[in-house]
Structure formats: structure tokens, C-alpha cells
Amino acid sequence: MNLIRVCLATLAAICVWATAAGADDYPNRPVTMIVAFPPGGADDATARIIQDAMQKALGQPIVIENFGGAGGTLAAARAAKAAPDGYTILQHQNALAAAMALYPNRTFDADKDFVAIGLINTAAGVIAGRPDLPPNNFDELLRWMKANGRNVKVGHPGVGSYGHLADVLIMQELGVTPTQVPYRGAGPALVDLLGGQVDLGPISAIVASPLVHGGKLKAYATIGKQPFAGLPQLKTLGQLGYHKLDFDFWHMLLAPAGTPRPIVDKLNAALRVALADSKVRKTFADGGMDAYPDAEMTPEAAHALLKSEIKFWGDVVRDNHIAAQ
């Protein structure tokens, strides 16, 4: 019996030593960052903005692997099964939290199968309208939408997308029941909004800004906790009194559960270096994004946000009987 105890203690000591040694040596080869959506969108852009500064801080290349599909769940499933050694990390966004309710047959648990590395940024959106929409401000828009017999058509990037869920929640809080028109992505939805086939749509603020200034779209409110500098005349929905709508579109980095804390800390430190870089901050600002402040950059803060967002977006999905397609 004593021999068994000695063997177990020795094995435990070896495991602790091996983990510590691995963390001390980390990283000694390239790190793969899985991005949950295809190239060309905000997710891919965010990863590439922080890539250079992070790999310089780590001393090893970061290889970006775009792995889109099923609302970001394919990438999450792939990352959750990766070795917990810090060489595979995942960049994801609100869709990871929503997936817990949208995809009951998923093969991962966003809360249990990942450890958070840190929050990256937020990005504002706007409630935008077709150029010939009669209302000229938010109060007028609300009265127009609530007019008897009005069939308001709202275009969104697809069932279960952040744009769709945000739009459903917004209209629910405003007391409006529009016709939801799904598209295969933000691009087609924007084309039809510009062409007047739909009345309104949730649009990225950085995309909407030049179109609003050019008279090709109207904008009524900012979707996000902070006002958008490119459209300073707009108030956030929270500022307009809809405090449940005081939410952000965000990105964060995660690693498979079981990744040693010293490795998580090294990745977090590299992310902090990237977000403090003046070039990164300017690129974010030019793209309508805000880097998370250093005080909110702990792994614990990121995990707490993920947990709260799982409940928040899960309630939206369940309350509105939304099913992924």
C-alpha cells in the first residue's frame, strides 16, 4: 500500500515537473490560431490585426487557420479537441455563446471545454434604414414602425447570426414585430437594404458610416455600449433608455480546457502587448473597433463575460424559438 502511495506521489510530481518545464519552454514552435469564420469579415480582420504583434511577443509565428461553417461551431469543435498545450488557440465571438442554445447537438460545451485567454475588442453596429425611409431620427422611426398596419421588413445576415439575434432582441424591446428577412451573409443583406427591398437592417458601423455620409443609407441608433466616432450624431440604444440593449459585439481568444495556466498567462501577456501597440490600436479605431482596456484583460474577465453571454443570448434564442438552419 505504501509502495502504491509512493508511486502515485512520484507520478504526480513528474506531471507537475513536466507541465512546468513545458510552460518554461513555451512556445518553441508555431502557434495555430483558428478563426471561426471565413476570410474577409470582421473576425478574420481582427485576427490579422493582432497577429504580427502577438507573434513578435511570443517569439514564434502565429498561423491563422480560417475554419468556417455552422455558425462558428465547426471551429469551436475542432479547437476543443486540440491538445491543451497552447499550440492551438481559438478566436471567437458572440456566436460561441449563442451556439449553446442554437445547436443542441453540438460536440462541445463553450463554458467547460475552453479556458479564456483574454478579450480582444468590441465593434459597434447601427440600425440602418433604406435611403428613402421617411423617418429622420430614432423617435420618428419608432412611431413609423408602430403605425397600424405597418409591415416593417428587416434584413439580417442569416438565422442565428449575431445580426439576427441582435435584431430580434432590439425589436422585442422596442415593442415591434417586423418581418425578418434572412440572407446568406451581411453583404447580400446590405445590397437589398441599399436597393430598398427591405426597410431596416443591423449593419456594421464602419460599413454604414460612409454610406450614411453619402446619403445612401439612413442611420438611427448605435448598437453597442459606446457611441461610434464615425457617426457622432447617433446615440446608443442604452442612451436612448433601452438598457437591456446595452450590449457589444466582441472577440476573444480561448484555448482548450486543460491548457496549463502558465501557458495561458504567456498568451494573455502577448495579447496585452498586441493591444497596447499603437499600430494595432489605430487599425482598430479606423475599422470602428475598440480594444479592450488593460484592466479588463484577465482570463477571468473573459471567462466571466462568456458565461454571462451564454445566458444572455441563450435567453434570446429560447424566448423567440429560434432554431439554427
Task: Classify domain 125-223 by CATH number.
Answer: 3.40.190.10
Separation between Cα atoms, residue 251 and residue 216, nearest integer Å: 29
Taking each continuous run of H as one helix and of E as one strand, the counts in the chain are 11, 11
Q: Chunk the chain into consecutive blocks of 10 residues (it has 325) and report each block's average pLDDT, rounded to whole numbers.
A: 51 48 86 92 92 98 94 95 98 96 96 98 96 97 94 93 94 95 90 97 93 96 94 96 94 98 98 97 91 91 97 95 85
Separation between Cα atoms, residue 55 and residue 63, nearest integer Å: 9
> Comparing C-alpha atoms, which of 70, 11, 12 is closest to residue 36?
70
Predicted confidence at residue 53, as pLDDT, reads 98
Separation between Cα atoms, residue 226 and residue 104, nearest integer Å: 33
* Strands of the 31-35 sheet, one edge to the other: 62-66, 31-35, 88-93, 249-256, 114-123, 289-291
The neighbour count for residue 95, using CB atoms within 10 Å, is: 24
Residue owning grid cell 459597434: 124
Its pTM surpasses 0.75: yes
Separation between Cα atoms, residue 266 and residue 323, nearest integer Å: 38
What's the CATH class of domain 29-123+249-319? Answer: alpha beta
Question: What letter would DSSP give residue 105?
Answer: T
Predicted confidence at residue 146, as pLDDT, reads 95
> Comparing C-alpha atoms, which of 181, 189, 67 is closest to residue 125?
189
Please state the domain extents for the chain.
29-123+249-319, 125-223
Predicted confidence at residue 3, as pLDDT, reads 55
Write the pLDDT tens digit of every residue in 242-255: 999 999 999 999 99
Question: Do 125-223 and 29-123+249-319 fall under one CATH topology?
Answer: yes
Predicted confidence at residue 47, as pLDDT, reads 96
Separation between Cα atoms, residue 213 and residue 179, nearest integer Å: 27
Joined together, the cell numbers standing for residue 4 give 502504491
Write the pLDDT tens digit of every residue in 62-89: 999 999 888 899 999 999 999 999 999 9
Predicted confidence at residue 185, as pLDDT, reads 84
Separation between Cα atoms, residue 176 and residue 78, nearest integer Å: 39
Bridge partner residues of 127 (DSSP): 202, 221
225 close to 243: Cβ distance less than 8 angstroms: no
